[in-house]
Amino acid sequence: MTQKKPARKRYVSPKGTAIWPRLNQADTKFDADGVYSAKLAFEGDDDAANKLIAELTAVREAAFKQYISENPKFKKVAKQVDFFSAELDDEGEETGRTLMNFKMKAKITAKKTQKVYFMKPVILNAKKVVLKNPPNIGGGSQLKVSFEVAPYFNAKDKEFGLSLRLVAVQIIDLVEFGGGAAAANDFDDEDGFDGGDGADESTEDAEDEEESGDAEESSGDY
Q: What angle do CA 37, 112, 29 make, to 5 degrees?
A: 25
Predicted confidence band of residue 190 (pLDDT cuts 50, 70, 90): confident
Residues 6+ apart with CB under 8 A from 170: 124, 125, 126, 128, 143, 144, 145, 146
Predicted confidence band of residue 87 (pLDDT cuts 50, 70, 90): very high
Q: How many other β-carbons are positioned within 10 Å of the β-carbon of residue 120?
A: 21
pLDDT for the residue numbered 213: 39
pLDDT for the residue numbered 178: 72
The percent of the chain in helix, strand and coil, each rounded to the nearest 5, is 15, 35, 45
pLDDT exceeds cutoff 90 at 201: no
pLDDT for the residue numbered 172: 98
What average pLDDT does the segment 112-135 reach? 95
Beta strands in 83-186 (DSSP E): 84-88, 94-105, 107-109, 116-118, 122-124, 142-154, 159-173
Task: Please tell me what DSSP assigns to residue 72.
Answer: G
pLDDT exceeds cutoff 80 at 50: yes
Alpha carbon dihedral 67, 31, 101, 210, in 10-degree steps, equals -90
pLDDT for the residue numbered 149: 98
Task: Please tell me what DSSP assigns to residue 137.
Answer: B
Chain segment 179-188, per-residue pLDDT in tens? 555 556 666 6
What average pLDDT does the segment 15-33 reach? 96
H helices, E strands: number in the chain: 3, 11
pLDDT for the residue numbered 5: 67
The answer to whether residues 78 and 183 touch, using CB atoms and an 8 Å cutoff, is no
What average pLDDT does the segment 39-43 reach? 98
pLDDT for the residue numbered 126: 97
pLDDT for the residue numbered 52: 98
What is the spatial distance between Cα 149 and Cα 161, in angstroms, rounded to a whole number? 10
* CA count, 13 A, side-chain hemisphere, 181: 12
